[in-house]
Structure 1
Amino acid sequence: MANSNLPERPSLEHLKKLAKTRLQQLRVSDPDAQLATALLHVAREQGYPSWRALKARVDAQPKAKKIVNPVMRFLATANIERSIAFYRDVLGFEVKQHQSGYEATLGPARIEIGKEAFAPGDLNLKNPQPPGSTIMFLQSHDVVATHAAIRARGASPSEIQKVNWIKMRMFEVRDPDGNVVWFGQSYHQGQDSPSRRDAQPHGIRRALPELPFDNVAAAVDYYRDILGFRINYQQDDLGVMDRDAITVLLIARTEQHKGIGSFGTYVSDVDALYAELLARNAHILGEPVSYPWGLRNFCLLDLEGNRITFSQTFE
């Protein structure tokens, strides 16, 4: 917005605190003043016509693509200049020269780059690894954004895969020497922290919906092609479908599993998802509707009538 007064990286929590302070001020002259009025005041002070517009602007800001686990690797290369260009310009590392070679850093991740049979003197390695034999793993806050950034810079990363046995979403990219760099993110990240587990004595983490179908194969195709899910696993009577943080089981309709199923899920931008699924010709039952209790949602029916509700909270 042209007249926005927001800082470069605004904080929604800070804006909410401003609104609470403004509410206290408003209630000096109007004891019946509501939080919605204070939120509107804050939004207009920041140059936005409504709190919803302000929140949308804050939510849309680019997330920092941070590497979150510290790592140190010694990387031999046949061509230092080529490797420096790749790690700096494609993977986004900062590269500095020092006495024994070059150091590439990205957050807490550090890589020492040297010529061919490279081993820093203080390590006294007898058998340094040749170029192309190194495998590195870097954990990312946002593996999807990291993947998109690396692809946009001209590399050819593999598709993001969900690796169930280590509970991570991962992709790999190879540097000019053939060394493999893995980027990964826990697909429970932010949902299952120790503090949250401790606060839930029965350990309930998240729902796993099961929807019955007469034709599971057709359902798998529909959820992939129309609803944007990815196939995690498929067999004749089962489809395990993933999208973002949720997993849905598509099961064969039997005497034990019959009728019509339904489930609901929260999303970060219900209007954007509505537009996406509408463009894919999903069977949507109406436009998103906002309710007084703080939910905005829409519903759709899949190819056999199972109902899905997508909801977004708002204040």
Structure 2
Amino acid sequence: MDLTIHTSFLPHDDPDASLAFYRDVLGFEVRSDVGQGRMRWITVGPAGQPDTSILLAPPAADPGIGEEERRTIAGMMAKGTYGWILLATRDLDGVFDAVQARDAEVVQEPTEQPYGIRDCAFRDPAGNLVRVQEIA
């Protein structure tokens, strides 16, 4: 099989705040922005990687999701346990400093993990965990 990762999903509860984080803080390109109000689907991705994207979407927009599931999702998002993503960089300290300077919520400063990876972590405005791993 010849497969690639095209798009990953992360939920948002405030499209403008999520857009500002991924575009202005992380520097991702905006590929599309459709819908209106809080019901917006925004696709962003790293410059120079047009085939890899993150879809920022309202998690409870699916008409098949009932009120109980919507409450569960909202609760998980509030705790930061619903969505997360792992990014990679060759300059972990530079990324950490730049993101921290933009007042992102720091979860973990750059740390050498016992399993051999050096990484750090932030939360986006929806509570999603954004881990950044250093690569050689």
Between structures 1 and 2, the one with greater strand share: 2
Does structure 1 retain, via aligned residues, the 8 Å contact 2:85–2:131?
yes
The answer for the alignment partner of 2:86 in structure 1 is 264
Distance in 2, matches of 1:230 and 1:313, equals 22
Matched, 1:249 2:55: yes
Matched, 1:287 2:109: yes
Residue 281 of structure 1, CA deviation: 1.4
Distance in 1, matches of 2:34 and 2:123, equals 23
In the alignment, which of 17, 21, 24 is matched to residue 222 of structure 1?
21
Distance in 2, matches of 1:216 and 1:203, equals 33
Distance in 1, matches of 2:116 and 2:135, equals 6
Distance in 2, matches of 1:207 and 1:287, equals 29
Residue 208 of structure 1, CA deviation: 2.5
Shift in CA distance, 262/292, structure 1 to aligned 2, threshold 3 Å: same
So what's the TM-score if we normalise by structure 2?
A: 0.71
Structure 1, unpaired ranges of 5+: 1-201
Distance in 1, matches of 2:131 and 2:6, equals 14
The answer for the alignment partner of 1:298 in structure 2 is 120
Matched, 1:212 2:15: no
The answer for the alignment partner of 1:309 in structure 2 is 131
Shift in CA distance, 207/312, structure 1 to aligned 2, threshold 3 Å: farther
The one-character-per-residue Cα deviations of 1:240-297 (angstroms, maximum 9, x if unpaired) are 1122434211001213884421111222211111111111111121210012432100
The answer for the alignment partner of 2:79 in structure 1 is none
**What SS does the corresponding residue of 2:109 show, helix, strand or coil?**
coil
The one-character-per-residue Cα deviations of 1:170-205 (angstroms, maximum 9, x if unpaired) are xxxxxxxxxxxxxxxxxxxxxxxxxxxxxxxx2222
Identity fraction in percent: 23
**What SS does the corresponding residue of 1:273 show, helix, strand or coil?**
helix
Amino acid at match of 1:308: V
Shift in CA distance, 279/205, structure 1 to aligned 2, threshold 3 Å: same
Pairing 1:98-247 to 2, within 5 Å after superposition: 202-206=1-5, 208-236=7-35, 237-244=40-47, 245=49, 246-247=52-53
So what's the TM-score if we normalise by structure 1?
A: 0.33
Residue 207 of structure 1, CA deviation: 5.8
Residue 235 of structure 1, CA deviation: 1.2
The answer for the alignment partner of 2:100 in structure 1 is 278
Question: Could you say which structure has the larger radius of gyration?
Answer: 1
Distance in 1, matches of 2:131 and 2:95, equals 12
User: Which deviates more, 207-216 or 272-281?
Assistant: 207-216
Distance in 1, matches of 2:42 and 2:122, equals 19
**What SS does the corresponding residue of 2:2 show, helix, strand or coil?**
coil
Query: Considering only aligned residues, what root-mean-square deviation do their CA atoms show, in Å?
Result: 2.2
Distance in 1, matches of 2:131 and 2:122, equals 7
Structure 2, unpaired ranges of 5+: 77-81
Residue 298 of structure 1, CA deviation: 0.5
Does structure 2 retain, via aligned residues, the 8 Å contact 1:294–1:313?
no
Structure 1 ranges of 4+ moved more than 4 A: none
